[in-house]
Each structure stands twice: as structure tokens, then as C-alpha cells.
Structure 1
Amino acid sequence: MDTNAVMDIALQGLIIAAKLAAPILITALVVGFAISLLQSITQIQEVTLSFVPKAIAVAVALIVSGHWMISELVSFTQAMFDKIPSLLGGG
């Protein structure tokens, strides 16, 4: 296994991690920003007001994008298992 193969696998791993984390992180960012904007307008500084809607939105995002996330991860894992013979020099 050469350096280029290791770098390719590492790059693919980072890309799939970013793709899988993006829907959850973007949802939490948008909801968190909206709630903080609402809190600054109304001057209500309740901790649960920022946590509960964000947790609910992340759960909804997981439900909506969960099937896509699992299928992406399964295809990446299958591609990695398919690469094992070529990485070991077997062809």
C-alpha cells in the first residue's frame, strides 16, 4: 500500500464524514441562530428555550436524512472493502 492510496482513503473518509455531518450541523446552526435572535429581541434568557427546539430540530433532521446517511455510509464501506485486494497487491 503506497502513500497515494492512504491519502485517497483518508480524503474519502473526511469527505464522507463532512457529508454525513452537514445536515445535522446546518440544522442546529440555523435553529440556534433563530432562537438566539428571538432571545435577543425579547430579552428572554432561558437555557431550555435554546436547547429544546435545537434538540427537536436535530431529531427531525436525523429522521428526514437518516436513510440517505445510512446508504451513503454503506456504499462507502462497500467501496472500501472492494479496495482491499488491490491495496494488498493482489490485483
Structure 2
Amino acid sequence: MKRADQKIAKAAELLKTIANSTRLKILLALAQTDALNVSYLQQQLQIEQSVLSHALIQMKDRDILARQRRGKEIYYSLADPAALKMILWAMNRVEG
């Protein structure tokens, strides 16, 4: 596989990761602050803990999110603000 093809495949995987309403909700919530803990995200977004954990891990593994432990709590933040620009672009393209 050519290098360009590899980059395209990786980009497609990255886009697939965020192309999910639950993950988009998480990203938009994190975009409004420096970092949020899992408990706060679960309460604010009304997402089941297992679904939330799975989504957070997927996005962290693809370097979309950064994770930091503070005592017993784990906080997540956007790893790259450029991701937010893409999400906001998509949101602005939708009518309603």
C-alpha cells in the first residue's frame, strides 16, 4: 500500500470514530471547557456508563482525546483543537 493510501485509510478510520452522535455529544461537551471527569460527562449527557467508557477509550486510543488522572478521577479533554473545527463545520452544515 502506498504511503498516501495509508494516510487516507487512517484518516477514514479517524472520521469513522467521531461519526457517531454519542461521541459528537462528548466532543462538544469537552469543547466547552478544559477537561471533564467521567462522572460529570455521564450525568450531563445522560449516557450509560459502559457506552460512555467505550466511546472515551475509542477516542483516546485514536488521539482525539487526552486523559489525565487526578486522584481517583479521570479527566478527559480534547487532544487537538483542530478536531473541534471539523465538528463545528459539520454542525453548521446541518439545517435546523
TM-score, structure 2 as length reference: 0.29
**Higher RCO (C-alpha under 8 Å, 6+ residues apart):** 1
Query: With structure 1 as the length reference, what TM-score do the two structures score?
Result: 0.30
Bigger fraction of residues in helix? 1
Larger strand proportion of the pair: 2
